[in-house]
Structure 1
């Protein structure tokens, strides 16, 4: 079921418990009810770190290593996460709103009950990831790779997909009907099990025809 995403920091159920973070991120660190507000973290190593009921507001992460990190009930707003290693990370009951994820390695990650709202995802590697109850709402996904990923109850309302790869992906109730645009360089590859609209079917018809060896002429 979709995660309800607060619009303001003050609306978080744990807002009154948050304490301000100072200093660099630490490998295997445990951050419980911590507020990361502004600032930039560059080339830091925080592999295996755990973030529980934390908030990120306007935080810039550049080249930060977060391999196998865990994000549980995390709210991130207006952040820029660029060139970060989030491979094999775990996300649950987490929201990323109004931010940018670019050049991010997130292959083999597990995302559950997670919302991306009003975000830009560019050159994000989600190969082999497992996504369950994930919503990409009003997002731009450009050069995002879901190859060999497993998607269950994933939807894209109001989102634009450009150069999004799905080859080898497995779908259970993946709903693409709300997407504004389906830019799929793999064509029909990786769509088995997904739900699309009649209009989207017509847009993809040339790719389906080519795959089946059908020539369409007037």
Structure 2
């Protein structure tokens, strides 16, 4: 399982650029001896964009804990035009605890919209849709395309598989013909206004939440770090 290509070289950061109003300052002594805590964060404060339960934890400890609770769906995005929406998709995938995000096409993508959540989300690259499809077949994961073009079935009435890959196209053109060919099903999102499509990042959020509504434990206390 690979992570974002910039992770290995990225130094420890005490904040994510949100300012002093985010997070907490230096931890009062005596410091906790749990190895999940980072001495630098304990000393300087933790202004990262993480939930309170993860304050002062190392990034590796956070990722390891998330890995014990990730959901069974993957998210894939076609990236032929260097789509700026991909960052937003990664951020939402982190919020809904997707297993992995898959970038199909160009390896580089605009991280601005991810709001540094890619540090905690596994990201894998595939050269093209055929490569993604081969990987998904080996993992026994059906690909579910999301597109509003003719031939798609309503997302609202479709039973999404628990284990699957939700595949999204580019802003504007939507899924490529190759993506349609490799999809076990293609789902559309119901719209009632004058526009023919919605933002790709918004569509991804709707589809992921549809999976959450069907398969996640909603309305009960979720397990949190101890």
TM superposition score category, shorter chain reference: under 0.3
TM-score computed with the length of structure 2 as normaliser: 0.24
More helix by share: 2
More strand by share: 1
Q: Which has the higher contact order (CA 8 A, sep 6+)?
A: 2
